[in-house]
Copies of this chain bind each other. A is one copy, B any other.
């Protein structure tokens, strides 16, 4: 079923069929002719071949999306935000998992380029900046999501991590806590670093501080690392009544560390996570967490990219999306803590 079959049935030239069926050029053709073409197309079950169209127009209406791992619950909502937005305007996402492996990243980038993607959205934690920047320099729009570059060379959509830390600190301070610890994520990842900086700021704003022995650094956003870092803090000697974790998985590790020491949450120690992952409300106790609007982040990133694709200036700026605090049962007033 090609455009020529339709042309034959409608008794017009193929070029006319193309114009009649294309939204943007329909005005160029007589209404009645257009109707006739439309009916012929319908009758034949004609479906325009987007591959052929893409070859001619040099646009594929596809976007390459690079993520570390689809299986990480952080990403599906972001992807839905991206896909829903893209689909509204006829674009499709090509999703690839890099597993944070530089070799995979390169290979995928090449493959997507070969497929003529019109742009990229990258959510990988430490994607080779060089490759991406080069791609962008060569004229293919790139937007980062959930991460950003120090030099702001590429437009990025991220959560306002520092604000999130402030929300967490404000909450435990309001509950009367003063001995507040931090189980920080990896500092070479922007989220880990910013949440840490935000925490220091927030504490300072309340006239508090976080001595080094009350901050544990995890080498990865994983439960075991959370437990390790938390254990170091708990065993460090200083008293701790509240812990702000760099993300939910680290918070789960904190649960483990508390349990191993016979400490109860929230009676002995309050814990706050970050991300508000699915089912985190089903833990014991349900985790208080800073929710990041993942779907929105994805949608905003898609919008940014679509804007560039329609010729807007590349606007290499970082857009911060505000998180919110979801209070559950892992935090309680400091007064409730049994004296020690």
Contacts and interface: CB of A to CB of B under 8 A. Distances in A.
Contact of A76 (B49, B70, B84, B284): B70
Given A49-B114, A116-B51, A283-B284, A94 B92 contact: yes
Interface stretch (A34-42, A52-60, A161-169, A238-246): A52-60
Most buried by B among A54, A280, A282: A282
A80 interface: yes
A115 B50 contact: yes
Contacts of A306: none
A95 B97 contact: no
A73 interface: yes
Interface string A136-175: 0000000000000000000000000000000000000000
A278 B116 contact: no
Assembly stoichiometry (copies): 2
B83 A97 contact: yes
Nearest to A61: B115
Contacts of A280: 279
Contact of A51 (B54, B77, B87, B111): B54
A50 B48 CA distance: 18
Contacts of A54: 51
A47 B279 contact: no
26 contacts: A48-B114, A50-B116, A51-B54, A51-B60, A51-B115, A70-B79, A70-B80, A71-B76, A71-B77, A73-B278, A76-B76, A80-B97, A83-B95, A83-B96, A83-B97, A87-B96, A87-B111, A90-B111, A92-B94, A92-B96, A92-B111, A95-B95, A252-B282, A277-B279, A279-B282, A283-B283
Given A51-B51, A80-B97, 17 more contacts: A47-B114, A49-B114, A51-B55, A51-B116, A70-B79, A70-B80, A71-B76, A71-B80, A73-B73, A76-B76, A83-B97, A92-B111, A93-B95, A277-B279, A278-B279, A279-B282, A284-B284
